[in-house]
Each structure stands twice: as C-alpha cells, then as structure tokens.
Amino acid sequence: MTDGGPDAVGEMPVIDVRNLTKRFGGKLVVDNFDMAVPRGAIYGFLGPNGSGKTTTIRMMCGLLTPDGGTGKCLGYDIVRDAGEIKSRVGYMTQRFSLYEDLSIRENLDFMARMYRMPDRRRRVSKALEDLGLADRAKQLAGTLSGGWKQRLALAACMIHDPELLLLDEPTAGVDPKARRDFWHEIRTLADRGVTVLVSTHYMDEAVQCDHIAYIAYGRKLIDGPAREIPAIVGLFTFEVSGPDLRVLEAELTGAPGVEQVARFGSVLHVSGTDKARLAAAVNALDGEGGIRVTERSTGLEEAFIHLMIGAADNFSESFAGQTPPQVLS
C-alpha cells in the first residue's frame, strides 16, 4: 500500500516536485526542475516553444517517467502511483485528440465510459450544458472550428470531475474571442476549487494566472506570484515615444544602463536593472524633437524578455557544461 492519497494531502501543494530531470537522445530536456502548486490556484507555466513545458507536465501527472527527481501529485508519488494520478487529473493536450468521426455527445460518452462514470448519460448532458455544447451535441467533432474543439476538449477532460486540470497550450490556434471565453471557463472552474496548471507562451494569458513559473530550455528561471514577478527580476522600465521609433531604438540600444529595448505598438519600452543609469540614458532624449519619456511599471513581458536574454539553448553545441542560472523566487 502506497503512502499519500487524498487523506494525506491536507494543505500540502497539489503538485510538489523536486529536481525533475529528463533526457532524450542524450540531450537534457528538463534540468533539475522544482515546482509547488497550491490548491485552488491558476498556475501559469510559461516558456517559449521547445522549452520543456510539455515534458515536465507529463512527468508531473505520471504520463512520463523522469530520469531523476521525486515528487507528488495530489498526494500520490509520480512514479509509483501514476495510475492513481491519471484517474484524478484532467489533461488537455496541445493538439485536439478526440475522435473527429464521432459527434460531440458520442465523444463525451466515450470518455465517461473510460472513466467508468456512474449515471453516465446525466453526466454527459451536464457537461454539454456547462460548456455551451448542448445545441451542437450531434455535430461531428471533425467539423468544429478551433474554438469549439477547444470547448469539447475541456468538457472531455472535466467529465470525471478532476481535482487538478493540466492544460498544455490550450489556446494555441484559436481566435481572440475563443481565448477570452476559454479563460472565463477556467476562472469559473478555479472558483469551484479546481487547481489549474496551464502552459502558455501568451503574455496576455499570463496575467490571468495567480502564480507563474517560467521555464526556458529545460531550466526554471523564475517562480512566484504573478504580480511580484517584475519586482523579483528587479527590472525598471521607461516608456519612450517619438516620431521615428526605428531611429530611437537604434540610439537607445546599447546605451549605458539600457539592457533591452522592445517595441509595444507606437512606443518603446526601455528597461534595465540599474535605475539611475537607465534614467540618465532615456531622460537625455526627453523633449528632443517630440520625444517623450515616462516611467512605467515593468510588465510580465518585459520581465520575461529580460530572462530570455540570459538563457542558453539546451540544444546548442555550447550548452554542455554551462552553469545553470540562479532561480529567482
């Protein structure tokens, strides 16, 4: 009999993993990854494509055996109790993985059968109503748009009322309205007490999360409450506008105290960790030829751009032997 289980969870993190490591073909894909996800949180798992997010999620929910490290999910050991974890977790993959030649209702009924749900027909009907799918219940899944496929996939992974929902790039390829609607559903689930771990590379989705971990090239760079991430990074930002942003960007790039320059619409966000030097560089241009400089709060996107500048590609030839960066938390 294994230790752990629902009675052992209490107030412990829903996910608690330490030093997870995974290699494929001799390449280190996940490098000593730690994470603790509190119950009831929406936890954003961010990083660029190819950074190891999917591999890490699969290890945390028992779908992939780590080469090193330990951890628990819902109180169960991620290696010894993988079957128990999978029965209690809802996992939504990057790609639509349901049967396109079955209707919406038939797909949900199939999933309910797999989980051996009692009162199956009622549960399926409730899932259709909850996700706004009832009017399309007879429509073949293969004829649905990206947004409707997304709703169906969410209904399917929620059919067994999981305690934990793992969403792997759930809004990739869907339109902005569908993304907004999807996040409304996620917030509703979180309000009911469901813990949600969602991987994404969209910054506008990151602000929807209570906590954020950022992974790049297999290594965790930062972990903490979303609102505190910019302060943890220690980055200061000024907004600079003017008649010719291209010239302004070239002039500011590499200036003393300026560590990054990013264009946001009709303005530049100029950032650095030494506020005095940064302010001197941007204020020297203020008022010249219509240039305006304003201090602003650093956002998540500026913080993540800053983190990425110092991150090394784990598939590059120069990666081997590098010292891992200090994790910020």
pTM above 0.85, yes or no: no
Band of the pLDDT at 291, cuts 50, 70, 90?
very high
Q: How many residues does the chain have?
A: 329
In this structure, is residue 176 part of a structural domain? yes
Band of the pLDDT at 328, cuts 50, 70, 90?
low
Question: pLDDT at position 4, please?
Answer: 45
Residues 161 and 272 in one domain: no
Question: pLDDT at position 273, please?
Answer: 94
State how far the Cα of 31 lies from the Cα of 220, in Å rounded to an integer.
8
Q: Which two tokens stand for residue 205?
A: 């989705």
Number of independent structural domains in the chain: 2
Question: pLDDT at position 320, please?
Answer: 45
Q: Which residues touch 222 (CB under 8 Å, ≥6 apart)?
A: 212, 213, 214, 229, 232, 233, 303, 307, 327, 328, 329
For 272, the domain range is 236-297
State how far the Cα of 85 lies from the Cα of 94, in Å rounded to an integer.
20
Q: Which residue has the higher pLDDT, 170 or 43?
A: 43
Question: pLDDT at position 200, please?
Answer: 84
* Range name among 192-206, 267-281, 292-306 with the lowest pLDDT average: 192-206
* Residue 103 DSSP class: B
DSSP 3-state of 245:
helix
Residues 164 and 289 in one domain: no
For residue 120, pLDDT over 80 is answered with: yes
In this structure, is residue 310 part of a structural domain? no
Average pLDDT across the chain, whole number: 87
For residue 246, pLDDT over 50 is answered with: yes
Residues 37 and 167 in one domain: yes
Domain end (from 197, 223, 249): 223
Residues 104 and 41 in one domain: yes
Residues 244 and 133 in one domain: no
In this structure, is residue 313 part of a structural domain? no
